[in-house]
Structure 1
Amino acid sequence: MTDFTPLQSLIGGGLIGLSAVLLMAFHGRIAGMTGLLAGVLPPLAADWPWRAAFLAGAAIAPMLWLASGWEISFSSPATPWTLATGGFVVGVGVVLGGGCPSGHGVCGIARFSKRLIAATLTFMATAFVSIFVLRHLIGAGS
């Protein structure tokens, strides 16, 4: 069971939305994490410094949260191998889907992009079906 964390979720969601709005306002870019990451991996994009700063902020923010005394509880019945395999499968989906859920979901829905709304609905439906099959039909993670 996942812990109910409305305050942390509200703050985190607000910060994600704010960062997406600021990135669009100052750079005219969509806050898709995989697209940003692609620009800081060789070959470097011409605009890699702001990409690196944005990604660093995404990594540093949880550290500041922890340093302020709050905790981030996480537990998973999955093995590290299963998590790594899941990460690989998600990476393949990002390439096939032309982006990640952060860019499609947060920014695409906010811009009323029909294509990105359809992509987000596909991501979510696939996740719901996967979890249902794994937890209720196969019995994994019980």
Structure 2
Amino acid sequence: MLGAALLRSDGLGEDCARVAERHTGAGLSREDIARQHLPLDPDGDYMPQSTLERLVCYADKFYSKSGDMQRKPLEKVIRSMQRLSPETLERFMVPPSRVWRAGVSLRKRKTHITARMKTEFSCGPFLRDCL
């Protein structure tokens, strides 16, 4: 939750902070927090809810965090989600058309948050292309 705290302290607002808080895995439920013994407030809300939160959560799974930012194939992402839990995989398997429609909607509307994220953050190649 360090990213969310940094965004809040920099005055970038709750919309940006919630994106950072809610993109881990396919969101984190209370059950995930308890089962994995995560050092998080068990009453916190770590499930993506807004269109942007869901889009970032989904897109983030397809890029390596090792520094090379290589795109991962869907099969590898699915295996990764399965290792976390069946519930995580189920949340990840949101119909892709819903996620892609969200990306198109964001691109057309150029809402305040997406414009800020595109210009002020290094969001990675996928998200920049979606916005």
Provide TM-score, normalisation by structure 1. 0.25
More helix by share: 1
Provide TM-score, normalisation by structure 2. 0.26
